[in-house]
Structure 1
Amino acid sequence: MAKGLRMRSTACRNRFSMKSIFAAPSSHLPRPATLALVLALTLGSGGAWSQGSPDAPALGASPETLIDHARQSNPGFAAARAEALAAQERVTPAGALPDPTFEVELMDATNTMNGRSASLLPGQVGETRYRITQPLPGWGKRELAVKAATAQATQADAMRDTSWAELAAKIETLWLRYYAADREHALTREGLTLLQSLEQLSLARYELGLLPQQAVLRMQREITAQRLALVEVEQRRKGLAAGLNGLLGRAHDAPLAPPDNPAPLPERLEATVLFEAAASANPEVNAAGSGIDVASAERERTYRNRLPDFAVGVRNNRPYEGKASWDVMFEVMIPLQQSSRRAREREAEYMLLAAEARREDARARTSGELGSAWSMYVQGRETLRLLQHTLLPQAQATRDASQAALASGKVDFDSVIEAERQLIDIRTRQLQTELETRLALTEIRKLTGEFK
C-alpha cells in the first residue's frame, strides 16, 4: 500500500513538473481562427523586423560603410565640397570684361540760355548727352585673372581633399575604438562567465568544508570587479557609437551594427615607398603646393598693375534746337600712386615666400608624423606576434593546468583566480596592442593620401 502511494505521488509530481508556466486551462484554449491571427501577426512582425531600414544591418559593420555614408551626409565635408564648387565658378567671370556704363547728362537744366523754366526731362533742356563707356583692362590682365582664379579653384579642391582625408581618418579611428570596445566587452563577459562558474564550485566546496570563507569572498570580489569593468566598457562603447553617429550626421542614439573583424594587418610596410607616397600624394602638402600657385599668380597680377587700364566710349549730343552729333572717347588710367603699388608688390613677394615656407613645413611635419606612425606600426606588429604565439599560449596553458590541479586538490582557488586574471590581462593587452597598431596604420594611410 505504501509503495502504491509513493508511485502515485511520484506520478503526480511528474505530471506537475511537465506542466509549462505558459499552459492555459482547456476552457481558455485559443480557437483556430484566433490562433491563425496570432500566427499571422507574429510572422508579419518578424518580417518587418528583418527588413528594417536598408542601411541599418550593414551601417557600422565596417569603416568603409561609414565612410561612404559620411561622404553624402557629413555637414563639414558638404561645406568644403560647396566651397570647391564655388571656386570653380569664379574662373569664368574672372576673365570677363567689366560691364559698360550708360550716362545721361542734362546740359543747362535750368534753361537759362533759352529763357524757359527748368526741367529734368531729356530733350527739354539746353542739350542732352547720352554716353556709353566700356572699361578695358590692360594687356594680359584678364588672362592673369583667369590664371589666378584657376589656381584658387585648384587650391579649393586640395582643401576639400584635405578635409575629406581628415574626416575619413577620424571615422576609421573611432570605428577601430568602437571595434576594440566591442571585443573587450566580449572578453570581459567571457571572463565574468568563467568566474561565476568558479564561484559555484567554490560555494559547493565551502559547504563541504573544503574551502575557507575568505576564498569565497575573494571570488565574489573578483566577480564584482569584473561586472564594474563590464559596465565601463559598455558605456565607452555607447559613447564611441554616439561619436560615429555625429560624424555621419545622424542622431546620437541611432543604431549601429556590431563591428566585423577588420582586414588582416599587412605583414610588412616599406618605409621608402611610404615616404615617396607622402611626398607626392599627401593632401596637406598638395594644398600647400596649390597655395604657392595662387601666390605666384597674384604676384604676376600685382606687377602687371604697373600697366594702365583703358576705357572707350561714344557720346550722342542732342541740343534742344539743333542737329545731333557723335563723339568718340578714349580714356587711360595714369599710374601715379607708385608708393602704394610698390607696397602691394612687396606684399605679393612676402605672400609667395610664406606659401613656399608653408609647403616646406607641411612636408617636414608629414615626414615626421609618418616616421612616428611607421615606427609604431612596426613595433605593434612585433608585439602582437610575441603575444599571439608565445605569451598567450603560455597563459592559457597555465590557466588550464591550474584548473586541473584545483580539481585534484593540489592548488587552492587563489592560484586559479590569479591564472585567470593573467589570461584576461594578456588578452586585453593583445587587443590594446592591435588597436594601437591599426590606429598607426590609419595614420599612415591618411599621410600617404589613401583616403580619397
Structure 2
Amino acid sequence: MPDPSASIALRGLDPGKPWSTPDAGREIDYAVRQRFPLWGKRGLARTAAGQQADAAGLDRNAAARELLADAETAYVRYWHADVAVDVLDRRIALLRQIEEMAGVRYALGRAAQQDAIRAQVEQTNLQRERIERLTASQEATASLNALLGRPGDAPLAPPIAQPALPVHSPRLAEALDAVDAHPAVRSELARAEAAHTNAVLQRRNRFPDVTVGIGAMQLGNGLESTELMLEVEIPFQQRARREREREARLLEEAALARADHARRTVESRGATAWAQWTRARERRELIENTLLPQADATFQSALASYQVGEVDFGTLLEALNEWQGADLARVDALRDELLGAAAVRAIEGDIR
C-alpha cells in the first residue's frame, strides 16, 4: 500500500502579508488522500519484495559457504607445507648419513672424494627446495589468518593431524544432485522469480488505480464543510507503459539466463572438483601401494650394495632420490586429493 498524502491549502491570502495571522474570513482546506492499488498489484509488489529479500539472504549463505570452503583449502595448504618440510628434513638427514658413509669409504680408499661432494650439493639443492616450501607455508598462514580475520603474520599452531574432509557422495551424479540446492543457484532463481513477478505487475499496471480522499474546509474558527474525493488514473501513456512492460520482460529473461549460468557454473565446478579429487586419490594410492615400496626396496638394495662396493655412489644417490621423491609425491598427491575434496564438499554443502 502506498503511503497516504496530506495537504493543507490557505485561501484568501494577502499578497503583501502572506504569513500574517488569519482573520475570521480566511479559508483553510485540509485533505488526506490514499491511493489503492487494485487488480492484485499490492500482493504482487509484496511478493516481489519478499523474493528479493530471499535472494539477498541466499547471497549471504553462498558467501558464507565460499568462505568456509576457502578456509578448508587454506588449512590444507598450511598442513601440506608443514608435512612437505618434514619429508625434506628426513631426506636431508639421510643425505648427511650417506655423506658420512662416503667420507669413511674415501678415507679407506674405497670411494672417490667427489661422492661426499655430490652429497653436499644434493643437500644444498634440498635446502633451496625447503625454503620454497617454507615460503608456501608462510603464504598459507597469511591466507588462513585473513580468512579468520586475524593479522596476516599472526602465529598459528602447528597442524596436529591430516585434515579430515570426507566426501559423502559415492558418485559424481549424487554430488551434482546438490547443485539445485546451492545458495548461489537458489539466489539467482529467487531473483528470476522476482523479475517474473515484476513483469506481471507491469502488465497489471495497464489497469488504473483508485485514489480516495477526504477533506474539510475551515472558515475562520469553524468547520464550514467536508468533502469526499474519488480519483481514477486515465491510462493515456500507453507507449511508455509498453516500454516498461518490455523492460520488465527482458529483465526476467536476463534473470533466467543468469540463473541458468549460475547452475552450469556450479555444475562445472563440481565436475572439475570431482575429477581432481578422484584422480589425486588414485595417484596417491598408486604411490603408497606400489611406488613407495618399490623405491624403498631399491634404496635398501642400493645401500647394501654400496657398502660392499658393488654399486657406485651415483646409483645410491639416485635410489635415495627416487625413494624420498616418491614420498614427497605422495604428500603432494594427498594435498591435491584434499583440495579436491574441499571443493566437492562446497558443492555438497557438507562444510562445518
Cα 1:148/1:190, change in 2 over 3 Å: same
Q: Name the aligned partner's letter for residue 275 of structure 1.
A: L
Asked if the contact 1:106/1:120 (under 8 Å) is kept, the reply is no
3-state SS in 2 of match to 1:324:
strand
For 1:172, the equivalent position in structure 2 comes to 72
Aligned match of 1:436: 336
Contact kept? 2:214, 2:228, Cα under 8 Å: yes
Report whether the alignment pairs 1:163 with 2:53. Answer: no
Matched, 1:377 2:258: no
Letter in 1 for 2:9: E
After superposition, give the CA deviation of every residue in 1:35-77 in whole Å (9 maximum; x if it has no partner): xxxxxxxxxxxxxxxxxxxxxxxxxxxxxxxxxxxxxxxxxxx
Q: Secondary structure at the match of 1:281?
A: coil
Aligned-residue offset at 1:292: 1.7
Could you tell me which residue of structure 2 aligns to residue 426 of structure 1?
A: 326
Q: Is the 8 A contact 1:122 1:128 kept in 2?
A: no
Q: Does residue 1:277 correspond to 2:181, yes or no?
A: no
Q: Is the 8 A contact 2:33 2:212 kept in 1?
A: yes
Instruction: Give the superposition deviation at 1:177.
Output: 1.4
Q: CA deviation at 1:299?
A: 1.1
- Per-residue deviation, 1:322: 7.8
Q: Distance in 1 between matches of 2:169 and 2:315?
A: 40
Instruction: Please give the secondary structure, in 1, of the residue aligned with 2:178.
Output: helix
Check 1:269–1:323 CA distance in 2 against 1; reply closer, same or farther (3 A cut). closer
Contact 2:31 2:214 in 1 (8 A): yes
Q: Work out the CA distance in 2 between the residues paired with 1:377 and 1:294.
A: 37
Q: Give me the whole-angstrom Cα distance separating, in 2, the residues matched to 1:131 and 1:386.
A: 85
Distance 1:307 1:384 in 2: 68
User: What stretches of structure 2 of length at least 5 have no aligned partner?
Assistant: none
Distance 1:351 1:199 in 2: 73
Deviation at 1:265, TM superposition (A): 5.7
Task: Work out whether residues 108 and 126 of structure 1, in 8 Å CA contact, stay in contact via their aligned partners in 2.
Answer: yes
* Residue among 192, 196, 217 paired with 2:117: 217
Does the CA contact (< 8 Å) of 1:134 and 1:312 recur in 2? yes
CA distance in 1 between counterparts of 2:57 and 2:77 reads: 30
CA displacement 1:127-178 (0-9 Å, x = unmatched): 2222222333334222111101110111112211221222122121121111
Shift of 1:388: 0.8
Report whether the alignment pairs 1:349 with 2:253.
no
What residue number does 2:12 align with?
108
What is the TM-score when the length of structure 1 is the normalising length? 0.72
Among candidates 18, 22, 25, match of residue 123 of structure 1? 22
Instruction: Give the 3 Å change call, closer, same or farther, for CA 247–426 of structure 1 in structure 2.
Output: same
TM-score normalised per structure 2: 0.91
Contact 2:167 2:341 in 1 (8 A): no
Q: Distance in 2 between matches of 1:216 and 1:408?
A: 17
Partner residue of 1:99?
A: 3
CA distance in structure 2 between the partners assigned to 1:299 and 1:382 by the alignment: 51
Could you list the structure 1 runs, at least 4 aligned residues long, displaced by more than 6 angstroms after superposition: none
Identity across aligned pairs (percent)?
33
Q: Secondary structure at the match of 2:6?
A: strand
* Mapped partners of 1:256, 1:247: distance in 2: 13
Task: Give the one of 182, 186, 196 matched to 2:86.
Answer: 186
Alignment of 1:53-452 (within 5 A): 97-110=1-14, 118-121=17-20, 123-124=22-23, 126-259=26-159, 260-263=161-164, 269-278=170-179, 280-320=180-220, 324-451=224-351
- Give the 3 Å change call, closer, same or farther, for CA 321–255 of structure 1 in structure 2: closer
Question: How many equivalent pairs are there?
Answer: 350
Which piece of structure 1 moves more, 168-177 or 312-321? 312-321
Aligned equivalents of 1:245 and 1:328: distance in 2?
Answer: 67
Q: Which deviates further from its counterpart, 380-389 or 260-269?
A: 260-269
**Contact in 1 for aligned 2:73/2:342 (Cα 8 Å):** yes
Verify the 8 A CA contact 2:216 2:223 in the aligned structure 1.
no
Q: Matches of 2:224 and 2:19 in 1, distance apart?
A: 19
Which amino acid in the other structure matches residue 200 of structure 1?
E
Answer whether contact 1:164 1:451 (CA < 8 A) is retained. no
Q: Of the two structures, which has the highest relative contact order with CA contacts closer than 8 Å and spacing of 6 or more? A: 2
Deviation of 1:119 (Å)? 4.1
2-side partners of 1:272 and 1:322: how far apart? 80
Alignment partners' CA distance in 1, 2:323 and 2:149: 40
Residues 169, 175 of structure 2: 8 Å contact kept: no
The 2-side partners of 1:232 and 1:368 are apart by: 32
Alpha-carbon separation, structure 2, partners of 1:172 and 1:203: 47
* Residues 1:171 and 1:237: Cα distance change in structure 2 (over 3 Å): same
